Structure 1
């Protein structure tokens, strides 16, 4: 059986907006690609639906949210991202619907990206590994908001707030998809991807009893090498690319 090869991601763009549900979502999937892009002088902004306040059982949300926000900002800085926004939806119970679509459409209008990045919006990670409701809601809403952002008659209140329509989104790239189509060489950004994920130490330390750096390196290397089998045997970050 011939393995379908992944195509290189488009490179004729300058601005990207990454929209995910929680702190660490980007670091577990695609920060090596983001590091490579910022090295090339591209602008990437992060938007998170929640602050991840319900993500650590041993830390109450009132303390956990600010802690994970600090870790996310530090993590983003490692890969050259200086702007991180939080939409303040409630962690664990994010609902797909017009409120979420409006918030994401507003972010797209503010930042005017050509490329939008999000995380797997499907029910599973492939097979029987069940996805979380927050990921599904935010991923799906992001795909929809890429169109909403360009239509002045959807959420007209955004125009009243000074956010004119932006119909310049050319692609939405979904990380963590079980059916990827494109990839980015992870080699130039891998060390920073490791350092970026390690900034989420409070989460990692309750997730595994393994040494944090050993765990992070193993996780990221395994996924990059597996993707690389379909990308010229180079460690890579995979995306499912939807054109607009």
Structure 2
């Protein structure tokens, strides 16, 4: 008796392209560089506007550096990293690294950023408890990812956080999609071919963090990690190296 062949996973659909402004909201410096910088490089090449909003400055991320020294350094590295892929605007919400709390305050801050920048596409990082059922996710990633999904709706409702309207931030109901990078359940992908080299350089800008994280040569580490990820997605995207996303329509 022959065993049934394993079911192949469905092909990933191309990311929507009919948008002009994107807002990427994550917890820490380096989250976007590990997750989707190759896609962002291609989008800015095409003339699209991408803005970064980080909930923290990553001040608790390096054991050998006190937070008051680490935070400014990681902010500097994040701004340099963003510039490599064509992102000029990087904002920090100043929640505390490692102890971000999902709740009204976080939703309000992200809704305010969405109203301020008025994106059609919002990007965030894996909001589920695990990375593919193998590794436990951090509370910061979960909190920010979930709050971003919620804030995409909050931003368009004038009766939620009415104080934002009083501050001059009019409701914005123009978010069409929220794209989650690092999801174990991707539905779409962006071609990583043109942006991969800049993604490697972008991640490499976080050198202080990476040199503590690994004994491997930093450039080799960045190239191996990112190339492996985009090649893993290629088999579901017509053989092209790709950045996968789980896309939620709104």
Q: Does 1:119 align with 2:125?
A: yes
Q: CA deviation at 1:127?
A: 1.5
Q: CA deviation at 1:126?
A: 1.1
SS of structure 1 residue aligned to 2:135: coil
TM-score by length of 2: 0.97
Cα distance between partner residues in 2 of 1:192 and 1:128: 29
> 1:141 aligns to what?
147
Gaps of 5+ in 2: 1-6
SS of structure 2 residue aligned to 1:27: helix
Q: CA deviation at 1:102?
A: 0.1
Q: Does 1:102 align with 2:108?
A: yes
Q: How many residues align?
A: 244
Cα distance between partner residues in 1 of 2:235 and 2:212: 32
TM-score by length of 1: 0.99
SS of structure 2 residue aligned to 1:151: coil
Query: What aligned pairs does 1:199-210 form with structure 2 within 5 A after superposition?
Result: 199-210=205-216
Cα distance between partner residues in 1 of 2:55 and 2:164: 18
Query: What aligned pairs does 1:53-202 form with structure 2 within 5 A after superposition?
Result: 53-202=59-208
Structure 1 consecutive aligned stretches of length 4 or more whose deviation exceeds 4 Å? none
Query: What aligned pairs does 1:3-22 form with structure 2 within 5 A after superposition?
Result: 3-22=9-28
Quote the RMSD (CA, aligned, Å): 0.4
